[in-house]
Amino acid sequence: MGFQARIKKHKPFLKAIHMKKRLAWVNAHKDWTKDDWRRMVFSDETKVNVWGSYGVKYYWKRVDDKFRFHHLDLTVKGGGGSVMMWDWITYDDPGYACRIYDGTMKKQDYVHILDTLNYYNYDPKNIYFQQDNDPKHTSKLACPEP
């Protein structure tokens, strides 16, 4: 019949307000210089699987090829576990990766990580620190009133 299965691409769901805010952010920064961007620090946390991935895995073979070991997706019981990490990236280079040991970063952990910025010669008063709106990022502990 001519139909073929295709894998859907992942894309974050954005409401109209999210799109407007993103466009406003882009427009507010469109005239930035290279020096402005050198002061920007992007950060986020992520989960890294110790064994395998959640993604779709493919292998390629000809119809008449014999089955081979690399055609298997080897697994371990329980999935093998994962590690939570936090990191940053700047215009010049990536930052340092911080392991989040119990799998969930708390606001105290986040503030401790932010305190280490000075060690890496990042003056919080001289950088633009971009982060998502996770409650720990915007807590009173992380963002004390001036």
To which residue do tokens 């974050």 refer?
12
Q: Exposed e or buried b for every residue in 71-95, given b needs 16+ CB within 10 A?
A: eeeeeeeeeeeeebebebebeeeeb
**pLDDT tens for the chain, residues 1 to 146:** 776 777 778 888 899 999 999 999 999 999 999 999 998 888 888 888 888 777 778 888 888 888 888 888 888 887 788 899 988 888 888 888 888 888 788 888 888 888 777 667 777 778 887 878 787 877 888 777 66
> Total structural domains in the chain?
1
Query: What CATH number is associated with residue 114?
Result: 3.30.420.10
Structural domain harbouring 133 = 32-55+72-146
HSE of 59, CA atoms in CB hemisphere, 13 A: 12
The pLDDT, as a whole number, for residue 8 is 79
The pLDDT, as a whole number, for residue 119 is 65
The pLDDT, as a whole number, for residue 143 is 75
The verdict on residue 11 lying in a domain is no
